[in-house]
Amino acid sequence: MATVLLARQLLTPLEVIDNAALLIEDGIITAVGSRNEVHVPSNARSIDFGDLVLAPGLIDIHVHGGAGHDVMEGTDASLAAVERLMARHGVTSYCPTTVTAPINAALRALDALGKATANAITGDGTRSRPLGIHLEGPFLSHSKRGVHPPALLQPASLELFDRMWQAAAGHVSVLTIAPEINGAIELISEASRRGVCASLGHSDAEMPAAQAAIRAGARHATHTFNAMRSLDHRNPGLLGAVLTDNSITADIIVDGVHVAPAVVDLFVRAKGIDGAVLITDAISATGMPDGTYKLGELEVQVRDGRCESGGRLAGSVLTLDRAVCNTMSFASVTLQHAICMATLNPARVLGIAQRKGTLSVGADADITVFAPTGDVVRTIVGGVMDY
C-alpha cells in the first residue's frame, strides 16, 4: 500500500518545499513535491505531520557504539542496541567504526560487521542500518594516535588491508589513514581503486604529504582538528590542505568539547555547506549515565559529556541530532544547511547519494521528521512506520 506523508515543509535537502507531500511505495520514494503537484492514489494511507519538517534520514559515518555496547562486539544484540539508539536520534544509516586492536580481534570484528552489513535487517523501522565499515586504524601516526594503542599501530600495508577487506567481505566504506606513514600513498591508491573513501586523519603530516595523498585518491578528512598537526601560519600542515582544497570533504565533531564553537564556525566557512560533514565519533557510553565504558578494548571514563582514556579524549557521547542543533548555533546556519551536512554530504562521501541522504524519486524512504527547532520527532527507516 502506498503511503503519503504531509508536512508544512520538506527539505530535500538542497531544495525547500512548502506545504509538502511525499509518496512512499515498497520502501522507495515515488513522488515528492507540493501537495498540488503530487498525485496520491485513492487507496493510499495518509499521515499528516502538521507544522513539522520532513528531511532525509541522518547518516553517521563515524560511530563506535552506544547504549552500553561497542560495535566491535559484533553480535546482533549489541548492534541492535546501538542501532535503536541511533534511530531514536534521527539516524537511519551509519558506518560501524573500528578502533585499532590486535589483528585477530580486528579480523573477527570485521567478519561480524561485514555479515551485519550484508544482512542489514529490513522491515524493522526501529533500527538504523549499517552501510559499510569505517576502518579507523591501524594505519595511523604514532604522534597523533589519540587513544589508539601505540604497540598495535602498523605501517600502511596492502597485504594487511587486503586481509581486513577479505574479513569484511568487501564491506569497507571508509579508511582513515595518516598520509605520512610508510606505504600510505600506495594504500590510498589501492583503497580508492576498490571504491573505499580514503580519509586523512590521526596524522602529523606536513602539507606536501597531504597534497600527495589527495593526488593519490584521498578525498576526505577524519574529525578535523582532532588528532592532527595544529595549523601554523608558516607550516600549515594537513589542516592547511584540508581547509583550502575544495576537492576534498571533511568531517567534524560538533559537541562543544572536541572543537570550540568559534572554530566550528571557521570550519564551515572554509569548507562551505557542501564540503562539511557532521559525525559523532560516539562510543558505547552514548545514551548512558556517567561511568566507565569500553572503546574496543580500551577503558574510557565518561563524566559531564567528556570521554577520556589516560587523560586523552576518547570519542564522544554526541548524538547526530544534537550535532545538527549545535552546528546551527555555533556556525549560525539554517536547519536546512545543518541537515545537509548530516545527510546528503555523508552520502556523497560514501558514493550513495542516489539512494541515501536525499528525499527524491527513487531514493530509499529513510526520513527524519524534525520540529523547526531541529529536535527529532520521528524516524522512518525504509518506509516502515508500523511501530
- CA separation for the pair 356, 63 (Å, rounded): 18
- Are 250 and 218 a contacting pair, CB within 8 Å? no
Cis peptide before 138 (omega within 30 of 0): yes
Q: Is 255 a catalytic residue?
A: no
Q: Which of 60, 281, 321, 366 is catalytic?
A: 281
Could you report how far apart the first and last alpha carbons of the chain are, in Å? 16
- Are 302 and 293 a contacting pair, CB within 8 Å? yes
Q: Look up residue 20 and give its three cell numbers.
A: 509538502
| 3-class secondary-structure state, position 316 | strand
For the chain, give the number of residues.
387
- CA separation for the pair 383, 29 (Å, rounded): 8
Cis peptide before 96 (omega within 30 of 0): no
Q: Which residues contact 162 (CB under 8 A, 6 or more apart)?
A: none
What DSSP letter does each residue of 192-243 carry, written as one string?
HHTT-EEEE-SB---HHHHHHHHHHT--EESSTTTTBPPP-SS--HHHHHHH
- CA separation for the pair 296, 12 (Å, rounded): 36
Catalytic residue ranges? 281
